[in-house]
Amino acid sequence: MAIQAGVGVSHDRNPHRAGQEAAEKALAAAGISRPDFIFLFSTVGYPQPAVVAAVRRTAGGAPLTGCSGEGVIAHGIADESNFSVAVMVVRSDELRFVGGLQTGLKADPAGVGRRVGEAVVSHGDADAAALFVLGDGLTVNFDRFRSGLEETRAGRPRLPLFGGVSADNWAFKQTYQYSDDAVVSDGLAWALLSGPARIVSGVNHGCVPIGGRRRVTRSQGNAIFEIDGRPALDVLKEYLLPEEIDNWSKAVINLCLGFRTPAHIEGYDEFMIRFIPGKDDAQGSITIQTEVPEGSDIWMTRRDPEKMAQGLAELGRKIKEGLEGRPPRLVFQFDCCGRGKVILPEPRKLALLGELQAQVGPQTPWIGFYTLGEIGPVGNSDCFHNYTAVLAAIA
């Protein structure tokens, strides 16, 4: 399988120079002048359209998919500054990427899923290997998006989903999704991978429960109004430190929800973790990024640095074993922004990343970003995750 790929990163504060520099480095690493496809992740200190335009101009106008992140990831790089751009360029005579974009994610996530599914089918998915999904981290309801997508997949082979949802450096105001020259918010960018690709993936989180079981007693969609018959916000405050109660950004960096992993999903942790990006003080409610049926059991959880480190080591071992001695051609990493600098000192964060990359693909083109939510399969189920690392190695 002939694949030419490269990754470039820039920290220049000028958006035009940053996009150009990252693209030039990626093209040089791949040894090509124009790719078939581009992946782009950028932080939000830049005017986003300027970065996208510079990358496409430098790469000859090739098709592009990407989004904003809390930081970017590449070999030896986990940069969470406001000014970082990561570009992967790919050219292959066997693998194919095609991308697209849908808007209106908050109002109609199921409709976005259906339209993405219809577009995938229209491109011909007989040899589809995976669908990369990059949605708005502030407006996504993943369960409804997935249900709409699955409507269009009836009778077709399963298409595993990978990706993450966009971030804005903890501002919780506006995130961005890219497709070719378009830059939108409240959208979902996607890229379909087709061809003889073998994908080895893994998922791992680093959270532990800090209290006993609680129960959701009133909810609607992805909003939780009451826990154990009390306003959800009042219950959360029982678990917050004094300095977190009046600082929502600090509160949700540290406190998250654990839902019991469904019985049909085997080989995973006891809990699926959920971030809490939204709240309504007047109603005392909180919002997460997936559906919450009334009667759901939940646990309050916090991250544990040692569990994170052990989980990354296990994730690396799993990917390496799955590759069966073959080096991966490309690696994508979707890692929660709550697992970065807010909990790990920079040297420790880079050391863990270096150990993972040395184990999985020390010479492989590697790109990723820090997300507000991660998407990756567990067994045969496509799942949404938080405070989690998702790794997809393409062999």
Q: What is the pLDDT of residue 3?
A: 94
Domain that includes residue 229, residue range: 207-303
Token pair 């298409």: residue: 159
**263 lies in the same domain as 356:** no
- Span 190-211, mean pLDDT? 94
Nearest to 69 by CA among 195, 166, 185, 213: 166
The set of residues, in sequence order, having a beta carbon less than 8 Å from that of 62 and lying 6+ positions away, is 34, 35, 36, 37, 38, 56, 89
- On the question of pLDDT at 10 being above 60, the answer is yes
Choose the final residue of a domain: 269, 303, 337. 303
**106 lies in the same domain as 171:** yes
**246 lies in the same domain as 99:** no
Q: Is 369 exposed, middle or buried, given 0-12, 13-18 or 19+ CB atoms closer than 10 A? A: buried
**85 lies in the same domain as 168:** yes
**281 lies in the same domain as 138:** no
**198 lies in the same domain as 213:** no
Distance CA 286, CA 220 (A): 11
Choose the final residue of a domain: 277, 303, 329. 303
pLDDT digits (tens, 9 = 90+) for 108-160: 999 999 999 999 999 987 899 999 999 999 999 999 999 999 999 988 989 99
**226 lies in the same domain as 132:** no
Nearest to 57 by CA among 39, 76, 34, 75: 34
Q: What are the distances in angstroms from CA 392 to CA 19, 29, 72, 194, 282?
A: 25, 21, 16, 15, 41
Q: Is 313 exposed, middle or buried, given 0-12, 13-18 or 19+ CB atoms closer than 10 A? A: middle
**235 lies in the same domain as 268:** yes
- Span 220-234, mean pLDDT? 96
Q: Supply the angle between the helices 15-30 and 48-58 in degrees, to the nearest 10.
A: 30
Our count of domains for the chain comes to 2
pLDDT digits (tens, 9 = 90+) for 284-311: 999 999 999 999 999 999 988 899 999 9
Whether this prediction's pTM lies above 0.95 is answered by no
Q: What is the pLDDT of residue 11?
A: 98
Q: What is the pLDDT of residue 241?
A: 82
- On the question of pLDDT at 74 being above 70, the answer is yes
**111 lies in the same domain as 225:** no
Q: How confident is the model at residue 265 (pLDDT cuts 50, 70, 90)?
A: confident
Choose the final residue of a domain: 303, 329, 344. 303
**130 lies in the same domain as 246:** no
Nearest to 159 by CA among 4, 375, 385: 375
**385 lies in the same domain as 297:** no
pLDDT digits (tens, 9 = 90+) for 325-350: 999 999 999 999 989 998 999 999 99
Tell me what the pLDDT averaged over the chain comes to.
Answer: 95
Q: Which amino acid is at 271?
A: F
Are 94 and 394 in contact by the 8 Å Cβ rule? The answer is no
- On the question of pLDDT at 217 being above 60, the answer is yes
pLDDT digits (tens, 9 = 90+) for 38-54: 999 999 999 999 999 99
**57 lies in the same domain as 183:** yes
